[in-house]
A = this chain, B = another copy of it.
Amino acid sequence: MNPSIKDVAKLADCSTATVSRVLAGKGYISESARKKVEEAVKELGYRPNRVARSLRAQKSRVIGLVLSDIRNPFFSEISRAVEQVAFQHGYNVLICNTDEDSTREEHYLKLLEEEQVAGILLSPTRNRVQKLNTVSTVPLVLFDRKFPKSTLDSVIIDNEAAAHALTRTLIAGGFKRIAGIFGARSYTASARISGFKSAFEGQESFIAGTHQIDAFEEEGNRLTKKLLNDDVPPDAILCSSALLATGAFRAIKEMKLRVPEDIGFACFDDPSWATFVDPPVTVIRQPAQAIGESAAELLMKRIEAPDRPVSEITLQGELIQRASTGGN
């Protein structure tokens, strides 16, 4: 058994309250007492039991970060930013991965609340608002995705504008039949689809299809092959995430098509390979770090002031034009 505060008190010949005060560094403590306690702590290798502490305090210095896909570099980037901010405020971050599975999301949300975390950062998998009732008592900030008219803090990018710009780049490159591949039903997907669609207004190009699938690499690969084997295949493809794009770009290469001559290509996120494949890929880079930081800061504020007004922060994606969209 690990030593408890009692053991320390016994060794330092004082009460547990004194030990506690020394540890917390508050209240009045004599120099001699402090010294004795510190020695005892060191000698026993004492470390406070956070579970007891949390039970007592009815909260902990831990926040939960619920990611919909840990393999998505966009989310890992965010998690690093979150950790950084949290650390500065004295919080620790525990990460949960839902793999876009709303059952697991619910499970983790419950777990985190039952673990009495101080707050939760979430990129919700689906559009079902009821879910969030399960964590009603815990400060919660949404990032990357939000709900239509929710009363929760959120940090997202202007997905509609970004999708619009990306699609327009493809149109400007001379592509006529553009297929869009988006993640499954979510606020983000809807917004991007709006932007995608609105980009065609008053243009000669048209939509060759708007697809929503699970945002996994293999799904993107499968669908792309299917589309390109159609009787009238699209002449350009837009993917709404790095994972989808990886699968799609692989499909294009597997089918020995040339980009942009045979097929145009553009995607969200800035996959690690986007600059060194042939040709480099036009992308919307999401300010992942800024998103993570803002979300974490918002959560810290919400924890400290649960009744503050709701903030909805919208950041802008950055269009990076490369050769895959032709034109220029």
- The chain A residues found within 8 Å of chain B, CB to CB, are 2, 47-52, 54-55, 60, 62, 70-71, 73, 76-77, 79-80, 83, 92-97, 99, 108, 110-111, 113-116, 137, 217, 246, 249-250, 252-254, 271-273, 275-278
**CB-defined contacts of A252 to chain B, threshold 8 Å:** 276
Residues B95 and A70 in contact, CB atoms below 8 Å apart: yes
With a CB–CB cut-off of 8 A, which chain B residues contact A80? 70-71, 97, 99
How far in angstroms is the closest Cβ of chain B from A277? 6
> Chain B contacts of A111 at CB under 8 A?
50, 62, 92
Contact B97 A83 (CB under 8 A): yes
Residues of chain B with a CB closer than 8 A to A94's CB: 94-96
A52 to B53 Cα, complex, angstroms: 10
| Chain B residues with CB below 8 A from A55, complex form | 49, 51-52, 55
- Contact among B2, B77, B83, B92 for A137, CB-based, below 8 A: B2
- Nearest CB of chain B from residue A280's CB, rounded to whole Å: 9
When distances are taken between beta carbons in the complex, the residues of chain B under 8 Å from A52 are 55
One of B54, B114, B254 near A47 (C-beta < 8 A): B114
Complex A-B, nearest 4 residue pairs according to Cβ-Cβ distance, in ascending order:
A273-B273, A253-B276, A95-B95, A50-B114
- CA of A116 to CA of B99 in the docked complex: distance in angstroms? 26
Q: Which residues on B sit within 8 Å (CB–CB) of A48? A: 114
Chain B residue nearest to A64 (CB atoms) is B94
Q: Output the least CB separation between A226 and chain B (Å).
A: 18
The listed residue (B49, B50, B96, B113) touching A95 by CB distance below 8 A is B96
Chain B CB within 10 Å, residue with most, of A55, A110, A249: A55
Whether B276 contacts A250 by the Cβ 8 Å rule is yes
A272 with B77: CB separation less than 8 A: no
Q: Which residues of B contact A253 (CB under 8 A)?
A: 275-276
Assembly CA distance A34 to B281 (angstroms): 61
CB-CB < 8 A to A51: which residues of B?
51, 54-55, 60, 114-116
Residues of B within 8 A of A97 (CB): 76, 79-80, 83, 95
Can you name 27 A-B pairs with beta carbons within 8 Å? A47-B113, A49-B116, A50-B115, A50-B116, A51-B54, A51-B115, A70-B95, A71-B73, A71-B76, A71-B77, A71-B80, A79-B97, A80-B97, A92-B108, A92-B111, A94-B94, A94-B96, A95-B95, A246-B272, A246-B273, A250-B272, A250-B275, A253-B275, A254-B275, A254-B276, A272-B273, A278-B278
Most buried by B among A96, A97, A246, A271: A97
Of B49, B83, B137, the residue contacting A114 (CB under 8 A) is: B49
Chain B residues with CB under 8 Å of A50's CB are 111, 114-116
| Closest B residue, CB atoms, query A217 | B272
Distance of A289 Cα from B116 Cα, bound (Å): 31
B-chain residues with CB within 8 Å of residue A275 when the two chains form the complex:
250, 253-254
Residue of B nearest to A278 (CB): B278
Alpha-carbon separation in the docked complex, A108 to B95 (Å): 12
Given contacts A50-B114, A93-B96, A250-B272, 20 further A-B pairs with CB under 8 A are: A47-B113, A47-B114, A48-B114, A49-B55, A50-B115, A50-B116, A51-B55, A51-B115, A51-B116, A52-B55, A62-B111, A92-B111, A94-B95, A217-B272, A246-B273, A250-B276, A253-B275, A253-B276, A273-B277, A277-B277
